[in-house]
Amino acid sequence: MTDTISQDKRLVEAIANGTVIDHIAPGQAMNILRLFKFLGKGKKNRMTVGFNLRSGDLKCKDIIKIENVTFSPSETEQLAILAPNATINQISNYKVVDKYKLRLPPEIIGAFECPNSNCITHVEKDATPRFKISKSDDGQVLMRCHYCERVFEREVVLKNNGLEP
């Protein structure tokens, strides 16, 4: 056990019930906080955010602890778009009861607006925005609109939705 690991453990275990988003790449925590607002989460919940903490496997990381909140599978998918390598720790009675790494979903439905202003999703209320997620050869995350079939880089979609990539 190194100091880094025990410090890590303490950070994770510090809340009684809720969610810890750990191993967020430095700088991405701000985006996740914006997404919380987006999701209507965390408005009345106690939240702790750590920036640029030391980590064993990354040089630096951000961490967010949010009390009495759990994320639904679809919200977890939205988080994965913002912080693809982060880890979710579900805390119950000061213990980690579930832990998993965020993974990019094959498709994301209803979370982000299509950046194409001519897309039918901006006119037709029943057309819930949905994107197929893929990765280009150079690792770029691509989002393809189900309706207009345009392909956008993840950064373009996030910017268009008021989130900074």
Residue 127 interacts with Zn ion (CB under 5 A)? no
Backbone angles phi, psi at 99, to 5 degrees: -145, 130
**Shortest distance in whole angstroms from residue 110 CB to Zn ion:** 13
Residue 119 interacts with Zn ion (CB under 5 A)? yes
Contact window for Zn ion (CB under 5 A) among 14-22, 27-35, 138-146, 151-159:
138-146
Contact present, 19 and 94 (Cβ < 8 Å): no
Q: Identify which of residues 53 and 114 has a Cβ nearer to Zn ion in the complex.
A: 114
Q: Identify which of residues 49 and 120 has a Cβ nearer to Zn ion in the complex.
A: 120
CA distance 97 to 115: 38
Among 63, 88, 145, 163, binds Zn ion (CB under 5 A): 145
**Shortest distance in whole angstroms from residue 114 CB to Zn ion:** 3
Residue 147 interacts with Zn ion (CB under 5 A)? yes
Residue 35 interacts with Zn ion (CB under 5 A)? no
- Identify any residues that bridge with 24 across adjacent strands, giving them in sequence order: 62
CA distance 149 to 165: 22
SS3 assignment for 71-136:
CCHHHHHHHHHHCCCCEEEEEECCEEEEEEECCCCCEEECCCCCCCCCCHHHCCCCCCCEEEEEEC
Among 21, 82, 114, 158, binds Zn ion (CB under 5 A): 114
Backbone angles phi, psi at 72, to 5 degrees: -75, 165
Among 148, 153, 155, 161, binds Zn ion (CB under 5 A): 148
Residue 116 interacts with Zn ion (CB under 5 A)? yes
**Binding stretches for Zn ion (CB under 5 A):** 114, 116, 119, 145, 147-148
